[in-house]
Structure 1
């Protein structure tokens, strides 16, 4: 996969531009909690940032599909650096909560959607290739690595250097990495300004499978947000604030380990079943977090929770190829990224209030509730996650054409041809 022409040219700057995403929420939480003394207030400001990102990310994705990644990314990273700097200054000056929340709007709205842009480049480079699921797994591992390094780095900066050091570093890395990534124009996907003469550009949200995946990813975002607040509060309760970065790093390391495993496994079950099984495991693992009474036990449980997140993320992103056409794919990826941010935003708000009122154990109930609701939605609407079942499969090899055409395709196991490794077999869909 890494030998794909041009891959390294966008992977390295893309990673530099994505690392700050793992730093943003925890940096806001730690700075605002330091200046206001309240996890609830910190959660509100972080939540406003997440909601703003969730609302504007799809808009950014749509503009990217129509005008190109570089045209969108350059002004976005400049705006983000300025907005985060303003939020940091207001927090240090002791501004009231309403002012911090207002400043959080542009800070969240301008978060550059580099992850979806990298995925869109992979989809364009590897369209029809059996390496595409490997690329999806690789991207999930990269995301999880940023969630390992980002929170640890932000916590170390905020607790060891200055409470504002996390946000300052986040803004600087976003600016530098984003501009470097935008400069890699040769690997950008084709711009889809129009889908045809007189034809309107279809919104990614018009595809029902994406809407179901959005609900699933909101649940995953709630796990991230609930864990961030509750782990920070737990670390303070045991008198070791620095343990927060380590505990969250262990949780994110579980995601990364599972992501590597997912990329190495040749799956024999369909993506829809993988998503459901992953969510069953995630809900079960989250159901015992509240009972942890030691850092060692909580770290072990967090590791198990992390192991179930990566399969769900990887499967969801991989399914986009079969659920959404190429002209709307960047927008679809940003909807999923925005869903994670939205779930994270709601979770940090609710977990912050529960933690302030009752302690960290109540904050851990938020990931449980969110994943249970998402699982129930997935079970009820799982039929929407199946791509259009091919009426027949045509093999370009003349010896097996008639045999392949007569074989029915199970709807539950239907999946992109390149994921099943069927070589030159081409799905033919009849509307």
Structure 2
């Protein structure tokens, strides 16, 4: 099977230009030079605030879903293994269905997909709540967790697609800044979301976290969908047939990056279940959201710094370096048995996640045409969800059998395996030289319009 790209590349060189190089060589549409580099320049992009603020509100519930599911099912069944399995099925269903939702959004428009999607998701989540509080068997909760995950609205990829349209240039000096800004925004939600969800579940009712998630999804999704001016145009095929749209996963670079994001998901999932088990072991369950928030804060902090630096190393080099750091940071977690250590080690691990995510999303902007970017972004977020699904299952079973220390081995195992595969696929992260079709690469074609 040929591994050359089915899409004409948008004129990117073999490595996406560094932040500094792009500043010197490009003049992005919309007056990038007048706006200036950095976050302030990014937020001066015309129309940016109109989708940034609703997008932040709309993605908040996603940070609450998994931990709320774990806490409710754990309360209803008494088993971390069952809770992990429910969260795993939620994440797996999201991972499998998210790319299809992204593809539909590319084809028919975000609003047309989002409005019915948020309503359906809210109903599915409320069904889980009703069944859990009414004492339904564990297998029933597992079955109903799947549609709750399958209908998760993909707000983050939709916002990233709007940045791609607003900046209108994959080589823009602000594109990496936009990717970093979105990473910081994501992680801010993961600082706030787990704390809110845990507080609701432990102080109000074990089902309160999921109820709040459903309500916020509905409200935030409607507000975001109402922003019509920043919505990317629909890219329907001339005949209207589904066969005219080639999947973004056919790009070898997207496949390689998805492997990396599976490992990132293993860190998220392993941390969520293992920290919950640890705080139960020390009889301080209310600290669960705080400790996970510390992990997310490390991610957010490094994302803010990473997006403000003018990097001279190629994106592939930065991605591999960040992944090595992430794997090394996960190594001591399984041996940490004190609250003091687990207040610091997750922060260190979090510091390496944002550079991985930001660099990968920047590479997507350079390698994938606009007509398929939402789908490409959802493949990556779906890979995180799928990795998280596997991790919460394995970590839950290990925590039930051998305690939280065994669960903390999951992030290390997941990142180590993903790193080994990523190193093996590193050539897929760079387009082949002009005219070449090296095995595993993406052939570089002359720049043409992809719209």
TM-score (norm. length: structure 1): 0.90
Shift of 1:296: 1.4
CA deviations on 1:292-334 (whole Å, 9 max, x unpaired) are 1211111111000000001001111111012221111100001
The correspondence of residues 34-183 of structure 1 with structure 2, limited to 5 A, is 34-128=75-169, 129-183=172-226
Whole-Å Cα distance in 1 between the matches of residues 397 and 434 of structure 2? 49
Whole-Å Cα distance in 1 between the matches of residues 211 and 240 of structure 2? 47
Q: How many residues align?
A: 398
Question: Hey, what does 1:309 align to over in structure 2?
Answer: 353
CA deviations on 1:20-66 (whole Å, 9 max, x unpaired) are 00000000000110111100000011111000000000000000000
SS in 1 for 2:63: helix
Checking the alignment, whether the CA contact within 8 Å between 1:155 and 1:245 is kept in structure 2 is yes
Whole-Å Cα distance in 1 between the matches of residues 238 and 311 of structure 2? 34
Question: What RMSD, in angstroms, separates the aligned Cα atoms of the two structures?
Answer: 1.9
Are 2:269 and 1:225 equivalent residues in the alignment? Answer: yes
CA deviations on 1:219-238 (whole Å, 9 max, x unpaired) are 10110000000000000111
Question: Hey, what does 2:59 align to over in structure 1?
Answer: 18
SS in 1 for 2:327: helix
SS in 1 for 2:352: helix
Shift of 1:429: 5.8
5+ long unaligned stretches in structure 2: 1-41, 436-441
SS in 1 for 2:46: coil
Question: Which one of the candidate residues 357, 360, 368 is aligned to 2:412?
Answer: 368
CA deviations on 1:325-383 (whole Å, 9 max, x unpaired) are 11111000011111110011110000000000000000000000000011001100100
Whole-Å Cα distance in 2 between the matches of residues 360 and 8 of structure 1? 42
SS in 2 for 1:193: coil
5+ long unaligned stretches in structure 1: 392-413, 417-426
Checking the alignment, whether the CA contact within 8 Å between 1:62 and 1:331 is kept in structure 2 is yes
Question: Hey, what does 1:270 align to over in structure 2?
Answer: 314
Checking the alignment, whether the CA contact within 8 Å between 1:389 and 1:429 is kept in structure 2 is no
Whole-Å Cα distance in 1 between the matches of residues 180 and 316 of structure 2? 16
Question: Hey, what does 2:251 align to over in structure 1?
Answer: 207
Between stretches 350-359 and 120-129, larger displacement belongs to 120-129
Change (3 A) 1:120 1:282: same
Question: Which one of the candidate residues 315, 333, 339 is aligned to 2:383?
Answer: 339
Are 2:289 and 1:248 equivalent residues in the alignment? Answer: no
Whole-Å Cα distance in 1 between the matches of residues 279 and 249 of structure 2? 40
CA deviations on 1:108-136 (whole Å, 9 max, x unpaired) are 01000000000000001112232111111
Shift of 1:191: 1.0
Question: Hey, what does 2:30 align to over in structure 1?
Answer: none
Checking the alignment, whether the CA contact within 8 Å between 1:195 and 1:201 is kept in structure 2 is no
Whole-Å Cα distance in 2 between the matches of residues 331 and 4 of structure 1? 24
Question: Hey, what does 2:70 align to over in structure 1?
Answer: 29
Checking the alignment, whether the CA contact within 8 Å between 1:253 and 1:306 is kept in structure 2 is yes
Question: Which one of the candidate residues 383, 394, 418 is aligned to 2:427?
Answer: 383
Question: Hey, what does 1:257 align to over in structure 2?
Answer: 301
Checking the alignment, whether the CA contact within 8 Å between 1:54 and 1:339 is kept in structure 2 is yes
Shift of 1:270: 0.7
Change (3 A) 1:429 1:9: closer
Whole-Å Cα distance in 2 between the matches of residues 156 and 94 of structure 1? 22
Runs of 4+ in 1 over 3 A off after TM superposition: 195-199, 388-391, 427-430
SS in 2 for 1:79: helix
SS in 2 for 1:185: coil
Checking the alignment, whether the CA contact within 8 Å between 1:390 and 1:429 is kept in structure 2 is no
Are 2:278 and 1:237 equivalent residues in the alignment? Answer: no
Question: Hey, what does 1:295 align to over in structure 2?
Answer: 339
Question: Hey, what does 1:184 align to over in structure 2?
Answer: 227
Between stretches 357-366 and 93-102, larger displacement belongs to 93-102
Whole-Å Cα distance in 2 between the matches of residues 251 and 211 of structure 1? 27
Between stretches 191-200 and 121-130, larger displacement belongs to 191-200
Give the structure, 1 or 2, with the largest relative contact order (CA under 8 Å, sep 6 or more).
Answer: 2
Shift of 1:390: 5.1
Checking the alignment, whether the CA contact within 8 Å between 1:29 and 1:39 is kept in structure 2 is yes
